[in-house]
Amino acid sequence: MSINSQKINVNSNKLTQVILTSIHCSSLFTSSVFAADISFEIEGVNAQPSKIYAQLFNSQDSYSKGEAFSATYLQAKQGINKVIFTNIPVGQYAIRFFQDENNNGTLDTNLFGMPSEGYGFSNNAKPNYGPVGYQDAAFTVTEQQDPVINQTHIIY
C-alpha cells in the first residue's frame, strides 16, 4: 500500500463520519416532537398603565427555585389579558404572574410580605396562609390539545 492510498482511506473514513453525522442530525430535526401553544387568560386586570410579567415552570423544582422554563411580559389593559407561550412540549406546567403597577420590574410587597400589586397563578389557584404550591397551579399539556387554554382571575 502506498502513502497516497493511505491518505485516501483516511479521507474516506472522515467523509463517511461526516455523512453519518449529517444523517443523524437531520433525523433529529425531522423527527416529530409535539409542541403546543398555551393561551393563558387573566381576567379582572385594572386600568393601571403597567406590564404583566408571566413565568412558565415545567417542574416543582424549577418553580421552587424561580427558574422559569419560559417567561414573557405584555402591556396590561383593563379586563381580560392574554399571554401566549408557543411551542411548548408535552408535560406538566404551572404559570405565575404579577401586574407591575408602578413599572419598577418587581412584585412589591407590604410590611408583612404580602404582594401589594396584582398577581395570580394558573388554574386560578389562590394562596391559603402561604404561597401557592406548584401542584395547585399545575396543568398538563398533552398531544390531544391544541392550544391549551388556562384561565385565572388576578388577585389584588
The span from the first CA to the last CA of the chain, in angstroms, equals 83
pLDDT tens, position by position, 2-41: 555 555 555 556 655 655 455 444 444 444 578 899 999 9
Please tell me the predicted confidence (pLDDT) of residue 97: 98
- DSSP state letters, 131-151: PPPHHHH-EEE-TT-SSEEEE
Please tell me the predicted confidence (pLDDT) of residue 133: 97
pLDDT tens, position by position, 40-92: 999 999 988 999 999 999 999 999 999 999 999 999 999 999 999 999 999 99
Task: Tell me the C-alpha distance between 41 and 130, whole Å.
Answer: 24
pLDDT tens, position by position, 89-112: 999 999 999 999 999 999 999 999
Please tell me the predicted confidence (pLDDT) of residue 62: 98
